[in-house]
Amino acid sequence: MSQLADDWISRYAKRGALWIHDGNPSRPHALLTSGKHSNGFFNSELVMEDPLLLDEACFNMAKLLEQGGVDLKKVDRVVGPAMGAITLAHDIARHIGIARGHTCLRAYTEKETEGERKVMSFKKTAIRPGESVLAVEDVITTGGSVDLTAAAVNKAGGVVVPIVGVLVNRSGLKTESGRKLVALIDRPMPMWIPEECPLCKQGSLALRPKGKENWSRLNATY
């Protein structure tokens, strides 16, 4: 792991944004958006709520993306899935614009359903056909939201850059659907389907980690 990644893990910990289960079966554990369970969670919202800290993170991300092969001069727009990556997309677009001396736009996708199928679409924002679009995400667990965002960009006539910018990659993957993952923090964390979750078998309750109440329950004294 790089010194930069170690530094940002430390920053997450100091912000109270990194949670690891202590093995106490009375303590709940994390129910991820994918439906899988985990004994750890990066709560990027607690980092993104601090504008100065987010500004530094996005500055570092823009540098990493350029080092990873993204030609910042050719990125027309940065897009992330709502809600978590809206602010992230905005700030990375700003840093790309600063680095190259002219504006980079941002947009975001939102969840909806088509029949029984979950999709992402541009509801309140839009992209222009032919735009080169960089996808970003706050935390990647399975990459599902990024896939849906890329599909929305393609449907709208945009061209997705084959590199994804991520604050935290906890998936253990280096690529996702053929797209290279460039992350500020690359830290795999265990994940289990509910039937195989060892914490469930010990009697621990699975909770969605996001949200003030559930985050407090995960971090309470037991």
Domain count, the chain: 1
Task: Spell out the alpha helix ranges (H) of 68-211.
Answer: 86-100, 144-155, 198-201
pLDDT computed for residue 2 by the predictor: 83
Rounded-to-integer distance, Cα 14 and Cα 21, Å? 17
Residue type, 79: V
Assign 211 a pLDDT band (cuts: 50, 70, 90): confident
1 CB contacts (<8 Å, ≥6 apart)? 186, 187
Amino acid at position 49, single letter: E
Containing structural domain, residue 184: 3-219
84-89 LR contacts (CB < 8 Å, sep 24+): 84/44, 84/45, 84/48, 84/137, 84/138, 84/139, 85/136, 85/137, 85/138, 87/48, 87/54, 88/44, 88/48, 88/54, 88/58, 88/136, 88/137, 88/138, 88/167, 89/136
One-letter amino acid for residue 51 of the chain: P
Kindly report the pTM of this predicted structure.
0.92
How deeply is 173 buried, as exposed, middle or buried, from its count of CB atoms within 10 A (0-12, 13-18, 19+)?
A: middle
The pLDDT tens digits for 14-48 are 999 999 999 999 999 999 988 999 999 999 999 99
User: What CATH number corresponds to the domain at position 144?
Assistant: 3.40.50.2020
Which SS3 state, helix, strand or coil, does residue 216 take?
Answer: helix
Tell me, what's the pLDDT at 104? Answer: 98
pLDDT digits (tens, 9 = 90+) for 115-171: 788 899 999 999 999 999 999 999 999 888 999 999 999 999 999 999 999 999 999
Query: Which residues are registered as beta bridge partners of 206?
Result: 29
CB 154, CB 137: distance < 8 Å: no
Q: Evaluate the omega torsion of the peptide bond into residue 48 and state whether it is cis, within 30 degrees of 0.
A: no
